[in-house]
Amino acid sequence: MNILHQIVEVKKNEVSELKKKYSKSSFEDSPFYNKNSFGFAKSISKSGQLNLIAEIKKASPSKGVLRINFNHKEIAKTYFDNSTSAVSVLTDEKFFQGSIKHLNDIAHFKKVPLLRKEFIIDEVQIYESKANGADAILLIAEILSANQIKDFTSIANDINLDVLLEIHSVNQLDKIDFSHNKIIGINNRNLETFSVDVNNTFELMKQIPNECIIVSESGITSQLAINKLKDKKVNAVLVGEFFMTSANIESSVKEFQKWCKHES
């Protein structure tokens, strides 16, 4: 069992507890629920640059705590002030030391769309995302059936949430209706070995329709990798550990943003 499936087993219990406390109607009472979302798809597909989705992530299962002096609100402010296209907020508690409260806190002063990075296996988590200020949610194809992907995407879209659908390998492609899911995240991490290879993005892109928005995820830490992604017309990158382990997040974001600009 790889780490993703271990997380799902824990998530099943968490969802069961969540359903005991909340219903769809209770989430609908949230101040955020009926507010218009910021347009995630539009924000991460701007031309003239490789768009940056900067992630807030305290820890990871493979590397443990990434940032000891962790303040989610200060990190978010730094990202906002440095013109990131979107911000990803990891909310899983057990494996990543995140919290749904982090998302809610940041939503009160957001300047760009917020992606809730979570292991979503039930529709109640989608309503919870909207109620806590998300503009988009992550769905992971490997842990969902084709019907779940379709249904969860429809539920999200109905409440004005975009969906970033993540794939790790060619094995998930036959689950996807690309006319329904147009924002595709390609994760470069091998779930068995934890090794990362940006070439995974390029190989999988070949089998995805050109009209889709492509987001490359994991292992993007150098200008060389960024240049390759720009050459292949990737729309956006999702980057977390590079910033979380930086001595100066702001200077790292500024440097990264320079790499992401297309030459005029």
Which band of pLDDT confidence, cut at 50, 70 and 90, is reported for residue 62? confident
Would you say 51 and 236 are in contact if contact means Cβ atoms under 8 Å apart?
yes
d(CA 35, CA 164): 20
| Cα separation values, 244 from 3, 78, 159, 168, Å | 21, 12, 31, 23
Q: What's the 3-state SS for the chain? A: CCHHHHHHHHHHHHHHHHHHHCCHHHHHCCCCCCCCCCCHHHHCCCCCECEEEEEECCEECCCEECCCCCCHHHHHHHHHHCCCCEEEEECCCCCCCCCHHHHHHHHCCCCCCEEEECCCCCHHHHHHHHHCCCCEEEEEHHHCCHHHHHHHHHHHHHCCCEEEEEECCHHHHHHCCCCCCCEEEEECECCCCCCECCHHHHHHHCCCCCCCEEEEECCCCCHHHHHHHHHCCCCEEEECHHHHCCCCHHHHHHHHHHHHECCC
In a domain? residue 23: no
pLDDT one-digit tens code per residue, 172-214: 999 999 999 999 999 998 777 778 899 999 999 999 999 999 9
Which residues are identified as catalytic?
Answer: 55, 57, 117, 166, 187, 217-218
Report yes or no on 210 lying in a domain: yes
Q: Is 24 part of a structural domain of the chain?
A: no
pLDDT at 262 over 80: no
On whether the CB atoms of residues 88 and 113 are closer than 8 A, the answer is no
The backbone torsions φ and ψ at residue 196, rounded to the nearest 5 degrees and listed phi first, read: -125, 145
Predicted pLDDT of residue 235: 98
CB proximity list for 9: less than 8 A, separation 6 or greater: none
DSSP bridge partners of 115: 88, 136
Q: Indicate whether 22 belongs to any domain.
A: no
Number of separate domains in the chain:
1
pLDDT confidence of residue 1? 61
Residue 250 inside a domain? The answer is: yes
pLDDT digits (tens, 9 = 90+) for 93-126: 999 999 999 999 999 999 999 999 999 999 999 9
Average pLDDT, the chain: 95
CATH for 66: 3.20.20.70
Is position 8 within any domain? yes
Asked, for residue 216, whether it belongs to a domain, the answer is yes
With beta carbons less than 8 A apart as the criterion, state whether 102 and 91 touch.
yes
Kindly state whether residue 21 falls inside one of the protein's structural domains.
no
Residue 55's DSSP bridge partners are: 88
Q: Please tell me whether the overall predicted TM-score, pTM, comes out greater than 0.75 for this model.
A: yes
* % pLDDT > 90, the chain: 91
Which range marks the domain in which residue 117 is found?
Answer: 3-15+41-260
